[in-house]
Amino acid sequence: MSIHPLAIVSPSAEIGPGAKIGPFCVVEDDVRMGADCILESRAVLKSGTTLGPRNHLFEGAVLGGLPQHVHLPQRPGRVVIGADNVFRENVTVHRALDEQHATSLGDNCLLMVNSHVAHDCHVGNNVILTNNVMIAGHVNVGDRVFMSGASGIHQFCNIGTLAMVGGQAHLVQDVPPYVTVDGLSSLVVGLNLVGLRRAGYDQAKIQQLKAAYRLIYRSGLMWKEILETLRTEFAYGPAALFFEFLSATKRGIVSERRVPPNATLKIKSREQEEENQEETVKLRYKAG
């Protein structure tokens, strides 16, 4: 264990073997820090934080801050972090509102510069949050989710396993598993095929997911009919996760982008069309 003389570490904090704590770091009371963790300069572990082994906090990262809430609790919950995560510069993760609950993050996650995880969130394993991602309170993020820069999630939303969210997307509804959300429109644009292949999904599994995707977004069935078909026809394999996720949604799911956002179809009279054609011919003649 190595603690820089310019670091402030509470004598009651539990520090695991092999940990390295750099200058100007702060480790408060009621902190449990696992083996072989690294705290770079100015990293902070606040009270109520449990950190698993081999986590790496870069400069300015703060784990365990009080929830950003108008009514601050007298007895907030904890932050519980798994193993082998990387928290880049100025990442913040906040404690749960209630002492019986915890904000949690799994294993092997990468949280890039300035990303934020609010109170009572649950982030899975192998998740990547890129720069300036903003996750509001009570959000659940599934395993292997990729969130691009400056995307934001409304409170109480859910992001399904292996979903990919584009840059600057603003999400106010649940994102089903395996799909890609376009950053410009904040709408679903298909399956996350790159993520699925990287995760080892073979062609047969991807074809099953495509069939389930078409059922959800393109069949034209009523919601209850979609759920029943998912339950009966996709009870096994990776597509079974669709029924589990969709049947539990309370905010609804993000729609599919089938046409450009805010597109309108202007109806013109025959006379207007003929005038436009004549004008086009004149312009071409002058240009020639």
Task: For residue 120, indicate whether it is catalytic.
Answer: yes
Residue 86 · residue 69 · CB < 8 Å? no
Give the residue among 171, 237, 228, 244 at the shortest CA–CA distance from 210: 237
Q: Which of 56, 119, 122, 138 is catalytic?
A: 119
Task: For residue 200, indicate whether it is catalytic.
Answer: no
Q: Which of 82, 107, 120, 149 is catalytic?
A: 120
Give the residue among 256, 239, 219 at the shortest CA–CA distance from 160: 239
Cα→Cα distances 123→79, 179, 180, 220, 227, Å: 11, 17, 18, 33, 26
CB atoms near residue 232 (< 10 Å): 9
Q: Which of 22, 64, 77, 137 is catalytic?
A: 137
Task: For residue 149, indicate whether it is catalytic.
Answer: no
Q: How far apart are CA 192 and CA 189, in angstroms?
A: 9
Residue 256 CB-density burial (10 A; 0-12 exposed, 13-18 middle, 19+ buried): middle
Catalytic residues: 119-120, 137
